[in-house]
Structure 1
Amino acid sequence: MELTQDNKKLLAGGTAIALVAAIGGIVIGQSMSPSQPDQTAAAEAGEEGEEEGHGREGFVEMTPTRLQSSGIRTTEVEAGSLASEIIAQATVAAPPEGEAALTARADGAVVRINKRLGDPVKAGETVALIESRDAASFVAERSAAAARAQAARAAYAREKRLFEAKITARQDLEAAQAALAEAEAELRRTQAATAAANVTGNGRYLAVTSLISGRITEVSTQLGAYVLAGAELFHVANPNRIQIEASVPSVDAQRIRPGDPAIIELPGGGSVDAVVRSATPSLNPESRAATLVLAPSGTPAGLTQGQAVRVRIMPRGAPTDGRIVLPEEAVQSVEGRDVVFVRVKGGFQAVPVTVGSRSGGRIEILEGLKPGLQVVTQGAFVLKSQLGASEAGH
């Protein structure tokens, strides 16, 4: 069929309209849809908590400087359950090298006291002086022994010269040698006795010196008091040396081994990590409980010798069923959801969790966390407040 001139004009116009519409659709489509590389970059920035603008939901930015002054503390998540934890009452005590009793080495009268209750003292420092007749006796014995030793050395030297000149017999030389050895042994004994009694240079006083560095925690004497040898005059303790002694029932003690992790709960709030150091092989006859010795990490502030605390011991190898136990303070409610704050790059991320049982200020996490993460256990409410203020501003 042949096309008329009018039909040709209509066909050309329709084709032009269709071509323009197609080109316009392509241009509009490109302008309305974001490119794929931009979406990927935004997702990666969101994962790192560094996306421009509001950042991802639940993220709280925190610089290292602000973190140090905020009072926020984190703990690495470990598997555990409330059923496997052992709660015990404990006492902060001094280890054997952390305290010392200062006693009188001989009978005498206290004529000088250099330290008062609570004063610091260094190892070897003189705390008091005792005037004692035994001090003069020690010095006199040492002087007499020194004179005898000197005479014995001279006699041995003379006999040695005579023997070498073949004037005296060998037995005379051997007798002089034996007498010298005996005299030197007596001199060493008197020198050791004088040093052990801490006799001062003039031979009149006995010095009471501290065995360790620390503070005077007890004074059991006064000026002019006559004391007997062995009487305890002062007590010194080093506040930087502490250990935790926990009383645990025998059934629970059988589950605990040296090296098991533990947590010391401070009376004013917060906690300190510790490990089980040892356990007594026998039970206390009154309480029927075993005593465990825990070593805290470092020298934590807030622990004083004689203080009562509570400890939580987590025996290794106990069944956990994939659960995690945290302080109740670590779990915060945000918009009706239970969340914990996990340490991420640049700050903290609120992570929804499913909680389980609660007991004694502890709570089980059933889902939402895995071991190895750094979770806020103290100061989580601060992050919750900052998160709420940030979302309100946005």
Structure 2
Amino acid sequence: MKKPLITVALVLVAAALLSVFLSSMMEEGPAPALSISLTAPMQRDCSETVQASGWLKPWQEAIVASETSGHITEVLVDLGSVVTKGQALVRLSQDSVLTDIRKHEAAVVTAKANLAKAKADAERARQFRATGGLPDGKVGEYLEDEQIAMANLGSEEAALAGERVKLAQTTINSIDDGIITARSAQLGATISAGAELFRLVRQQRVEWQAEVPVRYLSRISEGLSVDIDGPDDHAIQGKVRLVGPSVNADTQAIVYVTLPPDVPPRTGLYLTGHIKLPTTPDSSSPRFQPCSGTG
């Protein structure tokens, strides 16, 4: 008799619990449905950069060479010297040139005296020809001597001017503003015409020659901004000056980047940086982060 009573009791308890549960569910009401809202896409610009690396090199390099041969008597500048256009850099011995100038000056004086005499003779010959007091052949000789004297004077004056040019060439001047980056001029050395004496960075301007994968060339153009990781963690801002026309064996192209005038002209540094590509429009939900990328 006890087992049937226990079973009945358990059934009654389960029924009571079920009734309570159903009653509470009915009081709470139905579960809320999933809500969905629509948001219009936003138009914004995507920014992308290309990583690049390369050397700092001169914007343009100038070679200072001698126009004449001679013996170096003075070297007036050294490596790292900042020079201006027309500034004297080297002087050569002038002794032999000055001697030649004095010789030609004397020759010019003699030629002028000969011309004066020839002109006087030619003028008298013209007068005698008019009166018939001198044969035509002799008159012709005097007139010819006058022409020869004029030619001799012109020749001597030209030779004198040439020697003065040589004298000016004994002082070798800078051909532009810049900074000396190489020097081969040595005091006491004898040099020949055309010998290289110095190299200088024109205008003290250096540029970053960055290597960029060829696949980005169609998107890189003159004027794009460039961020360069300079020495001592100093950031440098530049602008694309030129995209190189050729590609090397590693499918890399050179992009020439102009640097600000206040950047020290230290060529030979290998730097890294990023070229900022033109922005492209992108439509996306405002809940997503703006697009960005680095090549």
Q: TM-score range by the shorter chain?
A: 0.5 to 0.7
Match of 1:191 in 2: 161
Aligned mates of 2:96, 2:250 — CA distance in 1: 46
After TM superposition, give the deviation of residue 147 of structure 1 in Å.
5.4
Deviation at 1:307, TM superposition (A): 2.3
Q: Is the CA contact 2:98–2:167 (under 8 Å) kept in the aligned structure 1? A: no
Matches within 5 A, 1:46-195: 79-82=45-48, 85-96=49-60, 99-131=61-93, 135=97, 139=101, 143=105, 150=112, 176=147, 187=157, 191=161, 194-195=164-165
User: How far apart, in 2, do the equivalents of 1:104 and 1:322 lie?
Assistant: 65
Aligned pair 1:300/2:266, yes or no?
no
Q: Name the amino acid aligned to 2:47.
A: S
Amino acid corresponding to residue 53 of structure 2 in structure 1? Q
For the pair 1:319 / 2:283, whether they are aligned, the reply is no
- Change in 2 beyond 3 A, CA 1:156/1:257: farther
Would the aligned equivalents of 1:263 and 1:311 in 2 still touch at CA under 8 Å? yes
Matching residue within 209, 218, 224 for 1:260: 224
User: How large is the Cα RMSD of the aligned pairs?
Assistant: 4.5
2:209 aligned residue? 245
Alpha-carbon distance between aligned partners in 1 of 2:171 and 2:194, rounded to the nearest angstrom:
14
Q: Count residues in correspondence.
A: 237
Task: Kindly report which structure 2 residues correspond to 1:34-45, keeping only aligned pairs within 5 A, or say none.
Answer: none
> Contact conserved, 1:106 with 1:132, CA < 8 A, in 2?
no
Deviation at 1:192, TM superposition (A): 6.0
Task: Give how far 1:89 is off.
Answer: 1.6
* CA distance 1:232–1:86, change in 2 (3 Å): same
Determine the structure 2 residue equivalent to 1:225. 189
Q: Hey, what's the Cα distance between the residues in 2 that align with 1:306 and 1:134?
A: 42
Secondary structure at 1:290 match in 2:
strand
Q: Secondary structure at the match of 1:81?
A: strand
Unpaired runs of 5+ residues, structure 1, are 1-77, 200-205, 324-352, 361-394
Is contact 1:214–1:239 with CA below 8 Å preserved after alignment?
A: yes
Aligned pair partner of 1:274 in 238, 244, 247: 238
**2:233 aligns to what SS in structure 1?**
coil
**In percent, how many aligned pairs have the same letter?**
22
2:254 paired with 1:291:
yes
Structure 1 residue 103: Cα displacement? 2.0
> Hey, what's the Cα distance between the residues in 2 that align with 1:183 and 1:283?
61
Q: Which has the higher contact order (CA 8 A, sep 6+)?
A: 2
**Conservation of the 8 A alpha-carbon contact between 1:106 and 1:134:** no
- Deviation for aligned residue 1:143: 4.1
Counterpart residue number, 1:35: none
Cα distance in 1 between the residues matched to 2:65 and 2:158: 24
Secondary structure of residue in 2 paired with 1:274: strand
The TM-score, its normalising length taken from structure 2, stands at 0.58
Q: Which amino acid in the other structure matches residue 291 of structure 1?
A: I
- Unpaired runs of 5+ residues, structure 2, are 1-43, 131-138
Residues 176, 289 of structure 1: alpha-carbon distance in 2 compared, 3 angstrom cutoff:
farther
- Cα distance, 1:153–1:279 mapped onto 2, change above 3 Å: farther
The 3-state SS of whatever aligns with 1:129 is: strand
Query: Residues 333-366 of structure 1: CA distance to partner in whole angstroms, max 9, x if unpaired?
Result: xxxxxxxxxxxxxxxxxxxx94655658xxxxxx
- Provide the rounded CA distance (Å) in 1 between the counterparts of 2:211 and 2:156: 51
Q: Please give the TM-score of this superposition, normalised by the length of structure 1.
A: 0.46
